[in-house]
Amino acid sequence: MNNAGKRPQQVHTLLVQVGRKPGDGLPEGATGAGLLVYASGVDEAEAVRETVALLTTAEMNPLDVSGYGTLKERLAAGETVSPEERALMQRALDENAVIVAQVTPFED
């Protein structure tokens, strides 16, 4: 690993699709779920790895992760980011954490 200069943590917005797994805590009848996640990392790849590891530990079955960028990238793309969303992003940064902001169960 290159220790020439530590890159700063950034918060990445991720959408994670999870499938069913015993003990996952999803509602009965759900076929999976979409999770809106804010995860810190020096880059998106690290944020994805940390998120997948955390969800796997939590008995969830991550199937796919889509990245939607950092706050700066999202604002540059013209997105509106609510104060509530910004607060969750700041919490993820302050705590070097993965924050699951929203769970949307999928049903057939």
pTM of the entire structure? Answer: 0.90
Can you give the pLDDT at residue 21?
92
List of long-range contacts for 44-53, beta carbons under 8 Å, 24+ apart: 44/12, 44/69, 47/10, 47/11, 47/12, 47/14, 47/98, 48/12, 48/14, 50/98, 51/14, 51/16, 51/98, 52/16
Res 105 pLDDT > 60? yes
Tell me whether residue 43 is in a domain: yes
pLDDT of residue 5: 66
Q: What percent of the chain has a predicted confidence (pLDDT) above 70?
A: 95
Domain membership flag for residue 49: yes
Q: Average of pLDDT values for 52-75?
A: 96
Asked if residue 3 belongs to a domain, the reply is no
In total, how many domains does the chain have? Answer: 1
- Residue at 87 is within a domain: yes
Q: For 49, list phi and psi in degrees, rounded to 5.
A: -60, -45
Please check whether residue 100 lies inside any domain of the structure: yes
